[in-house]
Each structure stands twice: as C-alpha cells, then as structure tokens.
Amino acid sequence: MAKVLLDTDIGSDIDDAVCLAYLLAQPQCELLGITTVSGEPVERAMLASALCRVAGADVPIYPGAADPLIIQQKQTKAQQAARLGNWDHATDFPRGEAVDFLRRTIRQHPGEIDLLTIGPLTNAGLLFRTDPEIPSLLKSLTMMCGTFTKQAHGPGGKEWNALLDPHATAVAYGAPVSVHRSIGIDVTGQVQMDADEVRERFKADLLKPVADWAEVWFEGRGVITFHDPLAAVTLFDTSVCTFSRGVVDVELQSERSAGLTYWQPSDDGRHEVALDVKPQAFFDHFFSVF
C-alpha cells in the first residue's frame, strides 16, 4: 500500500480532478492528505472535498499558498469552483497550516511517503526550505513538471507548473530526495481524450463530479490531456513510462525564461525524467481502478 500526499491546484486544468479521482479509486493508495496551491486555495480545497465525499473518504485537506514565493500570481482563479453548488462539500478548513501538515505527516512516516505534486511547487518549496531534512525523509518525490525530451543544447519548452513559481521549482529540483521523478508535458501531452469520449466513459460515481466540472474546461477546449493522472499512475506502475537518469537545472537568471528546465542525461544523475509513455497501457490501467 503506497502512502501518498497530494499537492494540487485542482480547479484550473481539469486533469487535477481526474488525478484525485484516480487516487481515491486506486486500491493500492493510502491517501494521507491533500494540500492545495495557487489562486483561491480554499475553493480548490472545496473541490477536493467534494470528490472525497463522493468516495466516502475522510482525507485531511489543507489550503496552501495562494501566491508564488517571489513573482506575481498568474493563476488567480479556480474556475471549476463555479460547479461546486452541484456537489456536497466542506467549507471550513484549517488555514495557514498546509506546510506544517506536510512536515508533520512526513516525519510521522519517515521513508514511507510518496509526495505527488501536480501544481506549482510553492508548497513544496516552502516545505523544503522550512525543514531541509524533509526531502531525505521522503520515499519519493514525483512531479508533473517541466519538459525534457525535445531539448538540444538549451532548455525545454514552457510548462505551466514550473513557470508559475520558478523559484519554488528550483528549490524542488535542488531537494536531495532518494527517488526524484518528473513527468513532463512533452510526455503527458501524448495521453489525450476528446470531450465526447470523456462524456461517454466517465460514468463511474467518482468520475461524475469530474465530468460535471469538465464542462467548464470544455468551454475553452475540446480535449482533456491526462498530465496529472499519468504522474499518479507511475506511482503504481512505472512501466507505463520509460525513465532516464540525469540532472535538471531551472532557469532563474532570465526573467522572461524563469522556470524553464534544462535536462542533461547522466547515468549517476539524481533526477529521473520520463522520456516516453505507452498511451494504451496508461488508459487500461487508469480505467481499471473504476
């Protein structure tokens, strides 16, 4: 049974909700807690609560940082919160305690917890700066972050989670975690589903709220890309992706490029990045838990 802490910006891209539904349905997952990050973290906590209630799961939920460490917030709204009225959810959460909750929980289970980050890295950056020993106490850090495989001699392309708080991204990549994995947008972008298929296949009880909130997402685009669910699935089946070792550096010198990831393959590198994915294997695994 995998002990997982989830840090999420649920409420913007719909894939966070898809990911949380997967974790709640995954029989091998013991979800120890959820922290939210980015603009309107309380509304994001409400969305997470609604899914937990559908699942019948009593999971601690803590709203985290609303703003990046240094730069201004570029993701101010949790748009899917507009559909909260359709679903029962909590409205009262502990405030200002997200980082301390992560710290306490990891210290209670040294070497046992997989920290899964699927949003900007602000909470993780604050956690690692507040208690520098925490990275060494994690079983793994798995991040949906960056882009790596299409590089030549420079950084990869832009990726939202890395760019929204580049300084926290740099802290996260500097953390001495024994298993430090990144699943980048260049790989996650290969697992997509159009709106009509989502409406057809998202029939399980846990996916019904997601399907509802997805209609907000579909107002601006016609597909779901399973960025975050792919990162989550790798906690339970690493074979869906091929990983390679190396070193990741984060651009901070240039304001225009801050948050871009530089990837240098190396057999003894402490970072692992996904280089490709088996889309059908991913979808087979994902839907099998529902």
pLDDT in tens, 179-223: 999 999 999 999 999 999 999 999 999 999 999 999 999 998 999
Is pLDDT above 70 for 116? Answer: yes
Per-residue model confidence (pLDDT) at position 86 = 97
Per-residue model confidence (pLDDT) at position 172 = 98
Per-residue model confidence (pLDDT) at position 254 = 84
Is pLDDT above 60 for 115? Answer: yes
Per-residue model confidence (pLDDT) at position 157 = 67
The answer to pTM > 0.85 is yes
For residues 12 and 150, give the distance between their C-alpha atoms in angstroms, rounded to a whole number.
26
For residues 192 and 225, give the distance between their C-alpha atoms in angstroms, rounded to a whole number.
4
Q: What is the pLDDT of residues 94-103, one digit of tens each?
A: 999 999 999 9
Q: What is the pLDDT of residues 176-190, one digit of tens each?
A: 999 999 999 999 999
pLDDT, the chain, mean: 95
Q: What is the pLDDT of residues 128-178, one digit of tens each?
A: 999 999 999 999 999 999 998 764 434 456 799 999 999 999 999 999 999
102: helix, strand or coil:
helix
* Element at 164 (helix H, strand E): helix 160-164
Are the beta carbons of 187 and 275 closer than 8 angstroms? yes
3-state helix, strand, coil in the chain (%, to 5): 40, 20, 40
Domains of the chain: 2-288 (3.90.245.10)
Quote the Cα angle for 77-166-258, to 5°. Answer: 110
Distances (CA, A) of 6 to 87, 166, 200, 252, 277: 21, 20, 28, 26, 22
Per-residue model confidence (pLDDT) at position 154 = 42
Distance of CA 87 to the CA centre of its chain: 23
For residues 278 and 271, give the distance between their C-alpha atoms in angstroms, rounded to a whole number.
21
For residues 102 and 13, give the distance between their C-alpha atoms in angstroms, rounded to a whole number.
24
For residues 199 and 284, give the distance between their C-alpha atoms in angstroms, rounded to a whole number.
17
